[in-house]
Chain A
Amino acid sequence: MDLTSEEQDMLDGKFGKAAQKSMEILSALGEIFNAESMVEVTGVQIAGVSYDNLGEAGLEFLSEMAEDGKVKVLTTLNPAGMDRENWRLLGIDEDFAKNQNRVIDAFARMGVITTCSCTPYLIGNSPHFGQHIAWAESSAVCYANSVIGARTNREGGPSALASAITGKTPNYGYHLDENRHGQVLVKVNCDLKGTDEFGVLGKIIGDKLVELGMKIPYIIGITSATVEELKSFCASVATYGGTALFHMKGITPEYDKYPQPSENLIEINKINLEQARNKLIDDDIEVDFVSIGCPHASIYEIEKISRLLKGKKVNKEFWITTARPTKRIADEAGYSKIIEKAGAKFAADTCCVVAPIKGRFKGIMVDSAKACYYGRAKNKFKVKIGTIEDCIEEAIK
């Protein structure tokens, strides 16, 4: 792998310990994946933020990096294990909160913008078409590659941090044109609507891709999709299929750049959607927790929730998970007041996947297929998917 003199100097320690360790990580990854060189990144999004996942070891690594490490490009964080302001109300214990703040402080010392969100593209960490970035959150990676047409591999926590500190990433995988071709043709033969339905579609396609051992679907037959529907689809297809890139004819920017695949056809109709939806509804579920905002709720979704909750009272634990800046907009617009008056709670900076809530509830209702997966696997809840309207109806029942 060819390194520039600046990159070699980083590797030799001339820019300090953190830059050296970072370049060691990136050049080793470059060698492993046969990258010819590094490419400059314009932005980074780091995963491995929740203390629940990092533990004391991860924190120690971050503290060491923070001794002389400073980020060179715009960098934000994935959700943390708690709302940084509202954690007590959400039942997070004091020790966890202390440790979570130590993690975030270490990132802050490195110059990271400590906004904790899985939707960086909604809150100002938003690349342009064709730009190279190093992002770690799987749903955001999928959104950036597919919907925006930016370029990133699926990074882990340490490699994303290494890119933030050096401003570089090895040029392989999804950074290169030749690896961005659609591999599987998906024909959708019915109309789709809503975050839940797009999530169900993501599960069907994701499961099928795993069966086929392929990664990049080329989807035709979808006539319209909102930002919210696409973010839900990205989260789901990334969770179930490990997908980091898809093309959607008429919707995503690179669909006509690459040929439509002629083999590996998957057809999806209304019946397939119904069957897949039923797999995301557990038998005899007793819902005691409702959560909307996986991926983080947009201001449009929060406005909608406030409209639906106006003058109502929720009878179950109800979280709206979102990015802190989006919450601030909701505060200013008066949506937060309406929502909180109804008894629902904001959980900014965090989400129902990474918060330490394993076993705390029996059944969770969501509008997200990704949240169903982690609700079952990580938190041992029974799950039920529905529209945002269904979720609200369940909460006020």
Chain B
Amino acid sequence: MKLKGRKIYKGIVEAKAIVTKEGISFYGGVDPETGKIVEVGHELEGQSIIGKVLVFPSGKGSTVGSYTMYRMTKNNTAPAAIVNEQIDTIVAVGCIISEIPCIDKVDINNIKTGQNILVNASEGFVEVK
């Protein structure tokens, strides 16, 4: 199944998806050392996002979050790609400075955790394998 979207930051990767219907705050909500979601009460609390295609509706929280994403890339704890419904400034800037392929305007209801998905952010589509 091929889902169309809009390129935020270029790149092509294939990896397992991890999906949430909740927003993600990288500053305070994700531990850049362990690559785990640490926001108390979050649907993905305790789960690792390292090397996965992280699928969520939109980012939230402090603008410092962009720097947290950069730190994750440097620590090798970053997700392989990000798929959003509607991008926000923090995640957009975070992906660009951290060089994480990113695409938005994707109907994320069609993606399930554990599925293998191909993200072709450069051409603006996602393919569920």
Contact = CB atoms under 8 A, between A and B. Distances in A.
Interface residues of A, number: 21
Nearest to A158: B93
Contacts of B68: 57
A54 interface: yes
Contacts, number: 61
A24 B95 CA distance: 11
B67 A48 contact: yes
A190 interface: no
State the main secondary structure of chain A at its contact with B: helix
Interface in B47-98: 63-64, 66-68, 70-71, 74, 87, 89-90, 92-93, 96-97
B67 A157 contact: yes
A57 B74 contact: yes
A55 B71 contact: yes
Interface in A16-53: 21, 24-25, 28-29, 31-32, 47-48, 53
A24 B94 CA distance: 12
Contacts of B90: 156
A25 B67 contact: no
Given A57-B70, A60-B70, A158 B97 contact: yes
B71 to A, nearest CB: 3
A300 interface: no
A56 B32 CA distance: 11
Nearest to A53: B64
B8 interface: yes
Given A32-B87, A158-B97, A61 B67 contact: yes
B66 A158 contact: yes
Interface string A176-215: 0000000000000000000000000000000000000000
Given A21-B97, A29-B93, A32-B87, A157 B71 contact: no
Contacts of B6: 31
B70 A61 contact: yes
Q: Which 5 A-B pairs have the closest CB atoms?
A: A57-B71, A156-B63, A58-B67, A158-B93, A57-B70
